Amino acid sequence: MIELKNVSLVFDGRQVLTDLSLVLPEKGILLITGPSGCGKTSVARMILGLLSPTEGEVSVGDLKIAAVFQEDRLVPTLTALENVALVSDTKEAEKRLSQVGLGDALELLPEELSGGMKRRVAIARALAFSGDLLLLDEAFTGLDEELAEKILKELCEEFKDRLIIAVTHRPELFSGREYTEIKM
Amino acid sequence: MKASTISLKILKGIGIFSFWIGVWYLASTLINKEIFLPFPHTVALRFLELSGTAGFWTTVAASLARILRGFIYGVVFGSGIALLTHYSSLAGGLISPFIRMVRAVPVASFTLLLFLWLDNDMIPVFIALLMVAPIMWENLSAGLGAMDKGLLEMAKVYRIPRGKTLKKIIFPSLSPYFCSGMLTGLGLAWKSGIAAEVISYPSVAIGKALGEAKTYLETADVFVWTVVVIALSLAFEGLIRLLFRKRRKKV
């Protein structure tokens, strides 16, 4: 179970979070929404263990988290397939890339992919990693509505018994689905 | 690369080479005193003469071993220091000014100082090290500074093993900086190493041969040894480029 206890965060001399306490559900969809700069991404980074709170405690246990970051974070010297295979075996990587519609782009380098294709490689990587939960930080930026909906459907299907945390300023993407929303 | 492109490149190379040989001939003809500027054919003949002796190859091997040793020590030492100063601000504060100072000290000053501390054979090795290490430090520090932190975070989140992170993410990202440092360092190692040999006079060395040729006004020999140093430096530069190109393809 993921829990944030009385978390405060000062970042670059600015108070980003004050005394935030949260207990995250074990499955389902959890949306973290709010205006830019309200600390959504900081919460995500704390859950991922990339940022420590100034005060309070974040406990994640030994959960394996698959993440799609705001940026694609693809290794420029590796092909799409090799990028995904960093977190899984090649067969699984190939399967996941086909799942996001990149079955023909396995051998392309990130510089040869469009912005939307890079996003999809990052999503395929998250799918290939058998995580206990999925964290999406503005994961659908750069994807058109139709494609975002298609990929989201597959992600929801894949993680139906696990937790999906989505940090987003486009909560409408999740309309028609059951979710819990935390407005920051 | 297409065969026609390669042929064109070779032809261009021959053209440039011929042009400069022509300039050299013209200058030698104008000066017309081989003691100041020998003709290219005089140098070529002298090269053939010298390269037919065992002493020539022993001299080349001795200098090659010395300079390569200094170069390798410099690469290892400079890289180690770069890692240290990147990850420890205390080490960075202490070591960085020292390395900048080392970079500014003339080869002659170091060589003369080292006379007091080291065996003559070791002076060129140490001089090459001192010239290469700061270059490697500077290049690798720039590479470490420019490394994409986002990729390292991704590796941490996805629990990519450390060895795989090093091989697939860190090394390829540092490789251009490492290659550039090695290429610059290699040129400097040859220049400074031979200069140190001229001053320190090790038992067998190209620098010693150069010094003797100067003393006896054997200008053609000075040219031969200089051409040998240039050829060796270019050969190793080509080898480094080839190694890094192959590595890039492998990754």
Is pLDDT above 90 for A153?
Answer: no
The ranges assigned to domains in chain A are: 26-49+61-183
Is pLDDT above 90 for B201?
Answer: no
Q: CB burial class (10 A; 0-12, 13-18, 19+) of residue B176?
A: middle
Contact residues, chain A, for B155 at CB < 8 Å: 86
The predicted pLDDT at position A97 comes to 95
* pLDDT more than 90, % of chain B: 67
Q: Would you place residue A120 in the very low, low, confident or very high pLDDT band (cuts 50, 70, 90)?
A: very high
Cβ distance B154 to A73 less than 8 Å, yes or no, reads yes
Is pLDDT above 60 for B250?
Answer: no
Q: Looking at the structure, tell me whether residues B59 and B169 fall in a common domain.
A: yes
Q: Looking at the structure, tell me whether residues B95 and B53 fall in a common domain.
A: yes
Q: Report CA Rg, chain B.
A: 22
What region does A37 belong to: left with phi over 0, alpha with psi -120 to 50, or beta? left
Mean pLDDT computed over B10-39: 92
Q: What CATH number does residue B238 fall under?
A: 1.10.3720.10
Mean pLDDT computed over B41-58: 93
Q: Looking at the structure, tell me whether residues B9 and B131 fall in a common domain.
A: no
The predicted pLDDT at position B248 comes to 61
Is pLDDT above 60 for B16?
Answer: yes
Q: Looking at the structure, tell me whether residues B8 and B98 fall in a common domain.
A: no
Q: How far apart are CA A130 and CA A95, in angstroms?
A: 13
Q: Looking at the structure, tell me whether residues B124 and B193 fall in a common domain.
A: yes
Q: pLDDT tens digit string along A141-151?
A: 878 888 888 88
Contact between B149 and B86 under an 8 Å Cβ cutoff? The reply is no
Q: Looking at the structure, tell me whether residues B82 and B153 fall in a common domain.
A: yes
Domain extent, residue B197, equals 38-250
Q: Looking at the structure, tell me whether residues B125 and B8 fall in a common domain.
A: no
Cβ distance A129 to B153 less than 8 Å, yes or no, reads no
Q: Would you place residue A165 in the very low, low, confident or very high pLDDT band (cuts 50, 70, 90)?
A: very high
If DSSP states are collapsed to H, E and C, what string results for chain A? CCEEEEEEEEECCEEEEEEEEEECCCCEEEEEECCCCCCHHHHHHHHCCCCCCCEEEEECCCCCEEEECCCCCCCCCCCHHHHHHCCCCHHHHHHHHHHCCCCCCCCCCHHHCCHHHHHHHHHHHHHHCCCCEEEEECCCCCCCHHHHHHHHHHHHHHCCCCEEEEECCCHHHHCCCCCEEEEC
Q: Residue length, chain A?
A: 184
Q: Which two tokens stand for residue B215?
A: 């003393």
Q: How far apart are CA A96 and CA A154, in angstroms?
A: 11
Cβ distance A125 to B158 less than 8 Å, yes or no, reads yes
Q: Looking at the structure, tell me whether residues B22 and B61 fall in a common domain.
A: no
Within a 10 A sphere around the Cβ of A46, how many other Cβ atoms?
22
Q: Chain B contact for A49, CB < 8 A?
A: yes
Low-confidence winner among A38-42, A120-124, B40-44, B175-179 (lowest mean pLDDT): A38-42
Low-confidence winner among A7-11, A163-167, B87-91, B104-108 (lowest mean pLDDT): B104-108
The predicted pLDDT at position B1 comes to 61
Q: Looking at the structure, tell me whether residues B141 and B50 fall in a common domain.
A: yes
Q: Looking at the structure, tell me whether residues B110 and B191 fall in a common domain.
A: yes
Cβ distance B168 to A50 less than 8 Å, yes or no, reads no
DSSP conformation class of B160: -
Is pLDDT above 60 for B251?
Answer: no
Q: Looking at the structure, tell me whether residues B126 and B162 fall in a common domain.
A: yes
Q: How far apart are CA B219 and CA B24, in angstroms?
A: 14
Distance from A114 to chain B by nearest Cα, in Å? 19
Contact between B66 and B124 under an 8 Å Cβ cutoff? The reply is yes
What region does A14 belong to: left with phi over 0, alpha with psi -120 to 50, or beta? beta
Q: Looking at the structure, tell me whether residues B26 and B10 fall in a common domain.
A: yes
Q: How far apart are CA B162 and CA B157, in angstroms?
A: 12
The predicted pLDDT at position B247 comes to 64
Q: Indicate whether this model's pTM tops 0.90.
A: no
Which of the following CATH numbers is that of domain A26-49+61-183: 3.40.50.300, 3.50.50.60, 3.40.50.620, 3.10.450.50?
3.40.50.300
Q: How far is CA A167 from CA A14, A70, A122, A124, A174, in A?
A: 21, 9, 16, 18, 12
Q: Which amino acid is at B1?
A: M
Q: pLDDT tens digit string along B52-76?
A: 999 999 999 999 999 999 999 999 9
Cβ distance A73 to B159 less than 8 Å, yes or no, reads no
From the list A50, A73, A82, which residue is nearest B151 (CB)?
A: A73
Nearest CA in chain A to B247: A77
Nearest to B232 by CA among B23, B59, B75, B44: B59
The predicted pLDDT at position A174 comes to 85
Q: Chain B contact for A82, CB < 8 A?
A: yes
Contact residues, chain B, for A50 at CB < 8 Å: 153, 156-157
Q: Which two tokens stand for residue B108?
A: 């002659």
* Tally of structural domains, chain B: 2
Q: How far apart are CA A59 and CA A48, in angstroms?
A: 10
Q: Which two tokens stand for residue A109?
A: 């380098």
Q: pLDDT tens digit string along A18-58?
A: 888 988 988 899 999 888 878 888 999 999 999 999 999 99
Q: How far apart are CA B135 and CA B52, in angstroms?
A: 37
Chain centre distance of CA B149: 32
Q: How far apart are CA B57 and CA B54, in angstroms?
A: 5
The predicted pLDDT at position A128 comes to 94
What ipTM score was computed for the predicted complex, to two decimals?
0.91
Nearest CA in chain B to A86: B160
* pLDDT more than 70, % of chain B: 97
Q: How far is CA A130 from CA A67, A101, A152, in A?
A: 11, 20, 17
B237 three-class SS: helix
Cβ distance B251 to A65 less than 8 Å, yes or no, reads no
Cβ distance B151 to A129 less than 8 Å, yes or no, reads no
Q: pLDDT tens digit string along B139-173?
A: 999 999 999 999 999 999 999 999 999 999 999 99
